[in-house]
Structure formats: C-alpha cells, structure tokens
Structure 1
C-alpha cells in the first residue's frame, strides 16, 4: 500500500497474490522490499519480497493497483 501510494494519488488494490515460501518465527524481524514493475495510466504493478533478519525469503507478493480520484496529503 505504501509503495503504490507514494505518488500522492489515492490508489487502491485491484488484485493481489501472495506466495508463502517459508514460515516466519516468533521474534523474526521481517523486511518488505517493494519494486514498481509497471505503471501506465491509472494502473500499476508492484512486486514485494518479504525477508527475515537472515535474508531468507519468507513471502512473495504481487499487487495490481488502480489510481482513483484524490490525493493523500496537500502539497505545498
């Protein structure tokens, strides 16, 4: 959500899928790294990789988003 809303345009989920690669354990520190794959018009695609503190992949996420009207905050 943060990645696809980073252009200050209200953007909502259109569809997504998550593949769980390995279990996370209690106490793990998880990090999500989002990469914009494509953005055209009002549509965009982002891939997110979730890793633990050892760099092991925990989950893979692909989200498709659609921009709707409005902004998240006023720009100066």
Structure 2
C-alpha cells in the first residue's frame, strides 16, 4: 500500500526514535523520504582509534543507520540482509559527518541501498566511505515474533 505524503518516513522516524545505539552516539536523522534518508554525526574522542583516526566501525554504524531509515521509510519492518563498505578516507576527531542513503531498487521483499558518507567542510564535502546495504522486509519487529 502506498503511503500518503504525510505518512512518508513515519515508520523510519518511529524506528529511529527507539534506536538507543544511534542516540548514544549523537546521530541525528535530518531527512527522510520514500527510499532515502540523511543522518549526521560528529566524531567524538570515544570514536578515535589507536591510529588517532575515526574507528571504521563507527563510520559503518552511521551509514547503517541512514540505510535503516531509508529502507524502513516504506512502512513495513525491514532489516539488513547484508552490507559492505569501502573506506575511501579517514575521519578525524571533531569532524562533522553526513550519511546520505538512496534506494537503488526494491524487488519483492528485498532492496538495495547505497549510502555515501562524507566529511562536511567549509568548502564542501569529502567522501569518506561508500556503503551498499541489502534489505529484507519481514513485516514485524523480530522481538515481536
């Protein structure tokens, strides 16, 4: 069933409101539309590894959060079936990051989404990573089965 304009993203917004992991890291959901979402995060001291750069797991988590919101924007509960990430450049303490998720295709109960994670600078954006997520619609939350 198609969602009306006022319903678009409602499921994703509700899911994000219950996302303790993203909330603990200060991730903000700044945009959500049908099949797309944008999330932002600042790199804190706790996210920096032994090489004095952002730990890749936190960058993956930001991308995964944007992916989750994009694939849940359609309404039914949708989870990750798999994902991969390519790191292009490192993040640093204090960086402001943006993750932009876009739906590529939905077929049956599955979907493919691409997420670009960038560092925001005064002169534009620098790509840090490219993420591809595969989704699967399950209809209800796993803890409600």
Is this a same-fold pair by TM over 0.5?
yes
User: Which residue of 1 is the match for residue 11 of structure 2?
Assistant: none
**What are the ranges of 5 or more consecutive residues in structure 1 without an aligned counterpart?**
72-76
Q: Tell me, in whole angstroms, the C-alpha distance in 1 between the residues paired with 2:82 and 2:110.
A: 11
The equivalent position to 1:50 in structure 2, one of 117, 120, 130, is 117
How many residue pairs end up in the alignment? 71
Give how far 1:39 is off: 0.4
Aligned-CA RMSD value? 1.1
Q: Tell me, in whole angstroms, the C-alpha distance in 1 between the residues paired with 2:83 and 2:139.
A: 21
Deviation >3 Å, runs of 4+: none
SS at match of 1:25: coil
Structure 1 or 2: more helix by fraction: 2
Q: Tell me, in whole angstroms, the C-alpha distance in 1 between the residues paired with 2:91 and 2:111.
A: 28
Q: Tell me, in whole angstroms, the C-alpha distance in 2 between the residues paired with 1:7 and 1:70.
A: 13
Structure 1 or 2: more strand by fraction: 1
- Residues 16-57 of structure 1: CA deviation (Å, up to 9, x unaligned): 001111000101000001110000110000000000113000
User: Which residue of 1 is the match for residue 94 of structure 2?
Assistant: 27
SS at match of 1:68: strand
**1 or 2 for the larger relative contact order (CA 8 Å, sep ≥6)?**
1
The equivalent position to 2:105 in structure 1, one of 38, 60, 75, is 38
Q: Tell me, in whole angstroms, the C-alpha distance in 2 between the residues paired with 1:69 and 1:8.
A: 9
**What are the ranges of 5 or more consecutive residues in structure 2 without an aligned counterpart?**
1-67
Q: Give TM-score scaled by structure 2 length.
A: 0.47
